[in-house]
Amino acid sequence: MELSLMFFALIVLLVIGVPIAYAIGASGIIYMLMSNPTFLLTFPQRVWSGTESFIIVAMPLFMLTGELMNHSGLTKRLIDFSMLLVRPVRGGLGEVNVVASMIFGGISGSSVADTSALGSILIPDMVKKGYPKGFAAGITVASSTIGMIIPPSVPMLMYAMVSGASVGKLFLAGLIPGILVGATQLIMTYLISRRRGYHPEKEKIEWKHALKVTKDGSLALVMPLLIIVSVSFGIATASESAGLAVLYATILGFFVYKELKWSEVKNALKKTFMMSSSIMIIGGFTMIFTWILAVEQVPAAIGAFLMDSNIPAWMVFLFLDIIILLLGTFLDVTPCILLISPILLPVMQQFGMNELQFGAIIIVGLAIGLVTPPVGMCLNVASKICRMDIVSVFRSAAPFIICNVIVLVGITFVPALSLWLPSII
């Protein structure tokens, strides 16, 4: 009875527009009042435990790294470097968009930051070069989903906090799926661009310019390699590697590119503070929710029901994909991870799914939610940049989103796609 009332209260509060952190906290208080009012004494302690984690320290640092690199002129350099990479195959700005997202994703760890940084430059540039505005916006939002899949990934840190999985292994588990999303989107972009005549004529490469572009691009590529190698091989923790990334971004911005200013550092710190604090508030209140589910043994009950029903594992896994896609349509990434991981992870483990594979599935699935209406954060950002409604942007992005869905199904039914790298390193 109390549990049903808690879920009902949560749904009602979300429907009427209460911020998700306070909706979760209020529904948890309602449960405690109905079940055992003495539980309220532990409320502050459990909220605090939701934010008291060494893993969470890495989150604002990775966010700050992305902001600093964005202010230091990195975005334009990455676009130039991506253009150099796709020229040999007569690639155009569509392919550049995907390649730049793959590289930028390895720096910022955020799909929304990817859309904002790359979209503000590439969408107007693509329109100027003759690409339809819808195509430019669609490929931008679709390719930005790679940002939270390729390590480092802020959502993966949140999942690691809830699941207890190794951050280094999670980063490796997301690497192949992220590359696959990028590769399939590149193929789709090439085919569409070739059919519609978007590809430019081949230009002669000026080697002096090419060397400069390669140098600037290579300096940016060091960042994700530094993070992945240091965390995966145990050289540094996630928090320590994030601190190294901030230091590297600062040195690059001030002394190499020489475009970073102290006023921009102040703005980056302010933006990072606002973003990370909102996520930590959600994390704190979600710990109440997780504790209640553990007390009521909800995951065990769901698992027992599915096992007794003799439902084949493949149907359960397919159902998992559908649930993630549906929830991602209405909820933002962080609350979704924090809410459904404690419920569904133990259930999937009973059917033989590894926690790393589950992490890869939930990250890839929720990335799709960022580009599906009505909530899609990346859709909203791109909509403001190109001044199109989100439904039109979504229609243009649909062919590329299919690539994400194919990869999602692949990592669900082929565990090696997410488990092979962590197993050999």
> Which pLDDT belongs to residue 179?
93
Long-range pairs for 245-250 at CB < 8 Å and ≥24 separation? 245/61, 245/62, 245/65, 245/152, 246/61, 246/64, 246/65, 246/68, 248/65, 248/222, 248/223, 249/64, 249/65, 249/68, 249/69, 249/72, 249/223, 250/68
Instruction: State the alpha helices, DSSP H only, in 53-164.
Output: 54-71, 74-86, 93-108, 111-128, 133-144, 154-163
How far apart are the C-alpha atoms of 335 and 346, rounded to whole Å?
18
Q: How many CA atoms lie within 13 A of 306 on its CB side?
A: 21
How far apart are the C-alpha atoms of 362 and 52, rounded to whole Å?
23
> Which pLDDT belongs to residue 50?
63
**Residues sharing a CB contact under 8 Å with residue 8, sequence separation 6 or more, in sequence order:** none
What region does 387 belong to: left with phi over 0, alpha with psi -120 to 50, or beta? left
* Spatial contact of 411 and 357, defined as CB atoms under 8 Å apart: yes
Q: Is the pTM of this model over 0.75?
A: yes
How close are the terminal C-alpha atoms of the chain, in Å? 47
Tens-of-pLDDT digits for all 425 residues of the chain?
677 888 788 888 877 878 777 888 888 888 888 887 877 777 777 777 666 666 777 778 888 887 787 777 777 888 888 888 887 777 788 888 898 888 877 776 677 777 877 888 888 888 888 888 989 989 999 998 998 898 888 888 889 888 888 888 998 999 999 999 999 999 999 999 888 888 877 767 677 777 888 887 788 777 777 777 887 777 888 788 888 888 888 888 888 888 888 888 888 888 888 877 777 777 777 777 777 777 777 777 777 777 777 888 899 999 999 989 988 887 778 888 888 888 889 889 988 899 999 999 999 999 998 888 776 778 888 888 888 888 888 999 999 999 999 999 999 999 999 999 998 87
How far apart are the C-alpha atoms of 370 and 119, rounded to whole Å?
15
| Chain centroid to CA 179 | 14
DSSP type of residue 353: -
> Which pLDDT belongs to residue 317?
93
Query: What's the chain's length in residues?
Result: 425
> Which pLDDT belongs to residue 359?
94
Domain ranges of the chain: 1-49, 50-424
How many other C-beta atoms are found inside a 10 Å radius of the C-beta of residue 160?
25
Tokens representing 90 are: 């007569």
> Which pLDDT belongs to residue 332?
78
> Which pLDDT belongs to residue 108?
66
Count Cβ atoms within 10 A of the Cβ of residue 214 and give its class: 0-12 exposed, 13-18 middle, 19 or more buried: middle
